[in-house]
Structure 1
Amino acid sequence: MAGQRPTLILVHEPERACADRLLVDGFSRQAATEISSYLAQSTDLAPEFNAIGDACERRGLGFRAVELDDAAAVLASADPRHSLVWTLTDGIAYFRGGASPALARLNGLKTIGADDSLFALCQDKFRAGAVLTALGLPVPAAGLARGGEWLVEPPASLSGYFVKPNRLGAKIGIWADSRCGVAREALGLGRRVFDAYRDDVIVQPYVAGRNVRASFLALHPYAGPEALGIVFVDSGGDFQTMADSMALYGDTGIAAREAGLYAEPELVQVGSAQPRAAEKIRQVAAKLMAGLGLRDVFSLDFRVEADDTVHLIEFEVCPGLPCFDFRAYCRAEWHLSLVEAMAETAARRLSR
């Protein structure tokens, strides 16, 4: 029990627990490893749990890291007056982290981050796209296919198409050929995704431009879009594949870096190169915060063209906190390490 002492409860789903469950469900070992790799931020942050605890201690807080399978019992016994729940990993399909904010709400606990409805929405990219379009945001139109059959046909496109899983990841194309020329090829890719991962695919007209990540942490409770960190993420490739994603995080990321197979992408401030584009991104973030309810901590991914046209690709309610880009954001915006930024954010919420 958290007791009377103000306590930050960090709920996370470990990679191994997810992979074991997928194997029992009949996924191949390769697919289970690839899918569970999206939870590698739990692996990457675990060595810093003691440091987070120390940083919380310096601010008069307790700290408890809780694995998702234990969250129901822990949150049911937590004191609503003195507990704050921060969910590290989301998920409604392969992953189950979206249950954490729902459990917190069930038990009357305060949370860091968006409400549980957005944890569900952000994991279904087709539905999320429909909502974002209704809000007037610059989201590429999309078709939806399941196992080689159209559920919704994509719009015509002279630039070809980009194919990505609907509930697995957000912007990755899985394979290097995920950009294709015609809709028929997109259906073929959809069959491959369904066979490997049992997921539908979104098929969007390909949009040109550079990849941009916008990171947000409201260290001050009333921080707004001005606290957004907006950077080009130049990794050398046009888009991220499954292999690229696995090289970023967890044990596979460590192995890739030690073998010299991966280097962190260069981060360049968008505002220094394309200030008009940066301002458009802040306007999009403001609409998402006001119209959708994003708050506290999130990230946005864009494609930005040379003429400052911006395309919103996705929003994340559980950004990769231990990843290089979010750590860099904490240093640049808040002049704190990730550990200190997390503890300070919690302290300011619990003191209100």
Structure 2
Amino acid sequence: MTRERPKLILVHEPEKACFDRLVGDGHTRERAAEIASYLAQSTDIAPDFDALADACLKRGLSFAPVELDAAASVLAGEHPGTALVWTLTDGIAYFRGGAAPALARLGGFKTIGADDSLFALCQDKFRSGAVLGALGLPVPPAGLARNGKWLVEPPASAAGWFVKPNRLGAKIGIWPDSRSLDLGHALELSRRVFLAYGDDVVVQPYVAGRNVRASFLGVAPGAGVEALGVAFVDSGADFQTMADSLALYGETGEAAKAAGNYAEPELVAVSESQPVADARIRAIAARLMEGLGLRDVFSIDLRVEADDTVHLIEFEVCPGLPCFDFRAYCRSQWDLELADAMAETAATRLF
């Protein structure tokens, strides 16, 4: 009897499926398109599927990309001993990818990534901030507002506040005026976010510094913070807006490339100019891995000041694998293109 080849199953929620569902739930088409754009990595990774299949085959695996709505039926037909589930897109509110690792656990499948409880935690910025603070990590404290009313008042801040959606999936501020110099304006932003997206907002003291992305993929078994890629992400802007995000990823990003308007932020290793900050970021990552359970694949967003003060902004259990920064990380840290890095990671878990 021929033994079934081990299989990597990549579960993802497509932009269009999300868009159609959001429109059906009453969102305007414009807002639904903006919300669904957070799933652009499903769009951006599709051209890599053939390369992923080839890279898996070279390592004795088969590869199956599976859309989220088909995940339950596909997993029902697989054997837990020969299949590995990798969830590409997360979400607990506007997106539903957090169901995939839960389905995998229900079926007894091995998984790449954190357990499903962290998929829920990282998508609620207010709750995750409370947990990160309890772990002693340098996360800015936060207030929470809904449609112009405080649920939790934010702390005082001489530098003003930063206002961002609570569950919409990213650290972005949506609009250029998301840095607020008074709390009345912060409440007005909460009304705008609620009207447009139906979400609460997190209101944190504004922290200065350069934006940093720390990326991790455990290609080699037992890899630790030494395998973390820590880079300044310099776009020329203080923070990313919805418009900035749309210009980089998914169908809008492809259109920007075709029109010659696409410009990737510059990536510069933090260790080159601020080795103390680099060491502090690796210590934060170690604490997240030990105390929170991050593993296999994740990213961390931070702000770093010139005096090496580090502010932890958020963590992600489903980093944008096909994004320019993660591809660059795979090349610099592992000397592999994305498809080979993913296939190698899966092979080390299945054999």
The interval holding the TM-score normalised by the smaller chain is: over 0.9
- The answer for the alignment partner of 1:313 in structure 2 is 313
* Structure-2 separation of matches of 1:221 and 1:90: 24
Amino acid across the alignment from 1:325: D
Give 1:84's aligned residue: 84
Give the match's secondary structure for 2:301.
strand
The reply to whether residue 131 of structure 1 matches residue 93 of structure 2 is no
Q: Secondary structure at the match of 2:130?
A: helix
Deviations 1:293-340 (A, max 9, x none): 000000000000000000000000000000000000000000000010
Q: In structure 1, what is the Cα distance between the partners aligned to 2:246 and 2:347?
A: 33
Residues 90 and 98 in structure 2, CA contact (< 8 A), matched pair in contact too = yes
- Aligned partners of 1:102 and 1:116 also within 8 Å: yes
Residues 1:253 and 2:253 aligned together? yes
TM-score w.r.t. structure 2 length? Answer: 0.98
Q: CA deviation at 1:258?
A: 2.4
Q: Which runs of 5+ in 2 are unaligned?
A: none
Show the counterpart of 2:32: 32
Q: Distance in 2 between matches of 1:138 and 1:170?
A: 19
Shift in Å, 1:260: 3.1
Aligned twin of 2:112? 112
Asked whether the 8 Å contact 2:91–2:169 carries over to 1, the reply is no
Do 1:299 and 1:315's aligned partners in 2 also have CA atoms closer than 8 Å? yes
CA distance in 2: counterparts of 1:221 and 1:318, whole angstroms? 19
Residue in structure 1 matched with residue 160 of structure 2 by the alignment: 160
Contact 1:4 1:79 (C-alpha < 8 Å) held by counterparts: no
Give the root-mean-square deviation of aligned CA atoms.
0.7
Task: Name the structure 2 match of 1:60.
Answer: 60
CA distances 1:133-156 after superposition (whole Å, capped 9, x unpaired): 000000001000000000000000
- Equivalent residue runs for 1:141-180 within 5 Å: 141-180=141-180
Pair 1:345-2:338 in alignment: no
- Tell whether 2:247 aligns with 1:266: no
Aligned length: 349
Q: Structure 2: how far apart are the matches of 1:46 and 1:246?
A: 18
Check if 1:70 corresponds to 2:70.
Answer: yes
- For 1:262 and 1:234, how far apart are their aligned partners in 2? 15
Once residues 305 and 170 of structure 2 are traced to their aligned partners in structure 1, the CA distance between those partners, rounded to angstroms, is 20
Counterpart in 2 of 1:227?
Answer: 227
Give the distance between the partners of 2:138 and 2:316, measured in 1 at CA.
Answer: 16
Which runs of no fewer than 5 residues in structure 1 stay unpaired? none
Q: Deviations over 1:65-92 (max 9, x none)?
A: 1000000011122111111000000000
Aligned residue type for 1:45: I
Q: Using the TM superposition, give the Cα deviation of residue 171 of structure 1 relative to its aligned residue in structure 2, in angstroms.
A: 1.1
Give secondary structure in 2 for the equivalent of 1:299.
strand
Deviating 4+ runs (over 4 angstroms): none
Structure 1 counterpart of 2:293: 293
Q: Following the alignment from structure 1 to structure 2, what is the Cα–Cα distance between the partners of residues 117 and 5? A: 30
Structure 1 residue 53: Cα displacement: 0.4
| Structure 2 equivalent of residue 304 of structure 1 | 304
Partners of 2:90 and 2:334 in 1: CA distance: 25
Determine helix, strand or coil for the equivalent of 1:230.
strand
- TM-score after normalising by structure 1: 0.98
**How far off its partner does 1:259 sit?**
2.2
CA–CA distance in 2 between the matches of 1:311 and 1:283?
Answer: 13
Given that 2:43 and 2:250 are in contact with CA atoms closer than 8 Å, whether structure 1 keeps it comes out as: yes
